[in-house]
Structure 1
Amino acid sequence: MRGQLIGTPPSGAGNEPAPATGATPAGTPPTGAAGPVAGATDPHEPDLGHHGDVEATPGLVDLAVNVRRAPMPDWLADPVIAALGDLAAYPDPAPARAAVAARHGRPPEEVLLTAGAAEGFVLIARALRDARRPVVVHPQFTEPEAALRAAGHRVERLLLDPADGFRLDPARVPADADLVMIGNPTNPTSVLHPAAALAALARPGRVLVVDEAFADTTLAPGVEGEPESLAARRDLPGLVVVRSLTKTWGLAGLRIGYLLGEAGLLARFAAAQPLWAVSTPALAAATACASPAAVAAERAIAARLAADRDHLVARLSGLPGVRMAGHPASAFVLIHRPGADGLRERLRERGWAVRRGDTFPGLGPDWLRIAVRDPATTDAFIGVLAEILEA
């Protein structure tokens, strides 16, 4: 397996704009490691601050955002609404913390509730300013690297190879990397890495951050829970699992997520967190979503999602020149079509919003991420996409 290791200088207060990274162009197999790169700002450097919500403007069918849109069930809506009557009191995270801990078989001190997964990345970056060699495995969600650079870190990128299905080879991660960040399943590739491969990255003296924001969307035959999740692993040194409740339950506007890890490590992150960072309604949502009924509902939703994803994959497979990255395992599919620069704009003209790929390190304008939707929406989208490609 191949991958490329490249360096990026930090960005943030007192720093110049982020220099070039020398990232491998999309579709070009990486050829090996490269050292840190310095120099002038590169106009081709991916915009780490670009996210799918920017694509989903009013009037377009939204295939750019991975948040599930469905009516909120009563068991979730009722406690959130009830919490609005208690806003005069400061938030008390203890009940929600205990509920989340029980869900994952951990003591409460191994849970830190956050205002969404994004805040978790910021806390990690700020608390671990002493990290000497942080490495981010790409392509993946850009906020972990953005948070590190904003905190003054010099980040190295390990670019996984599209020719190899963006699969992780643990041996590609430098042995002396003391902070490693990776997503599982990974946004935007939808690749689900084996838990054993991720566990192989853990070692004393290293903090291993695994972003499991989409873990509850995954399913595997014969597996009762979330396949390849490390959320319940307490034996791996330095492991921090980042979780989000905003995707499956449509709570992006409420901002609720949490970190799982060693108590001493989470205490360092908590020291970087503002007081009362998570609102009372968000805490109510966290408690409700940790219940056994909620977990069972997640599994049912994941099963329906898998069927809808299979339908999308089958329809995409019938389009000329379109290929998918690996075997999609989450709520989105990453596609590549050579010469597709401008395809996103033509889809917008026809009323469809998809996520551009060139803002993810390691990808380019030939890559697009498509959210999984119901079969009727998928069929309508494929019809438009086919017409554009034929033209």
Structure 2
Amino acid sequence: MSRYRLYPTPTQQAALLEQCRQARYVYNLALEQWSMWTPDKGATPGYVEQARQLTEARAASDWLRAGSQTVQQQALRDFHQAVTNFYAGTHQRPTWRKAGRHEGFRIVGQQASRIVRRNRKWAVVNVPKVGRVRFRLSRPVPDAKSYRVTRDRIGRWHIAFAAIPEPIPAPGTGEVVGVDRGVTVSAALSTGELLTCPGLTDREQARLKQLQRRLARCRRGSKRRRRVKAAIAKLHARAADRRKDWVEKTSTDLARRFDVIRVEDLRIPQMTRRPKPKPDPGRPGRYLPNRRRAKAGLNRGILANGWGLLVQRLEHKAAGRVKRVKPAYTSQTCSVCGHCAPENRESQAVFRCAACGHRANADLNAAVNIAAGRAVSARRETPPRVSPKREPQPATSA
């Protein structure tokens, strides 16, 4: 999508928030109906049936009737798509939309094309029941049939037009690059480049810790707690903006420079799960230490470096040119001789081959293996481990 910053007036902000409340109410009502439906009632109501029920609800409720019918119908469309994705197995079960977290609505049809350009930097869009709202022209506006208005946790409004950009064409040089993702080094390229995703500075991290301690002492529902939460959300939004900006620039640069981009096929949702509790067999009802705090720190590091977002944007911009490689043992295999052993990894940052003595940065060595497409099951590069006490076996004849 092509997203732009929206600048509504205070009166328009109140009207936009009212539209968000109505869209969220309709969505949650459809979710409640779907969750409580039982097999003895027949087929689950689809979008057409729920749209008919929405018409009856608008006739009975002055609050719903005062809002835009397009916004409320598109909320039902969003729920129908969420249910379809859930049954297809591509997404999780639909969840409730919460105030302050899921603020937004969608506009389709001819109203989505009512855009007037004021000058080189500003334009206005006609939002139903709100009026003309101005937005910043940071790039040319695409020809789209729908747009979505959203509000983030720190109160910034955005408008996103549903127009998928064309993929970046390949340079045609035939170059292949391997990308190894890490926590200390966000992305190590097989060309020798070490890229780091920017996050919060030391002063901002100290400020965040101070605000979190202050939040723990605030009384729930107080104005001070609301202000502290807004300050914390502002710091988290700043880190997210920096991460997204780095991902966009890095993915664009890689898509323009290389024909084939190889990355590790990592299952990030499974990698960032919390560890399971370990029951103590000697004390029923008690649990053993499972290093959950260390695992939580690792999970934060993985998510803060944008592992999944980087590959997702690469697949969007370099469609058909991103190859996934099996990740196992890529950090223990020598990129020169192919010897694979745990002792090759001297430390977290240093790789030293026990066979040929090759010494390099561990992330760069793994990136070279990924660029070569070396899978774990490659027999000539990763021989099976045999016990040194085993006697030599005679070769069997064919």
Q: Fold conserved (TM > 0.5)?
A: no
From the two aligned structures, give the one with the greater helix fraction: 2
Q: TM-score range by the shorter chain?
A: under 0.3
TM-score (norm 1): 0.24
Greater relative contact order (Cα 8 A, min sep 6): structure 1 or 2? 1
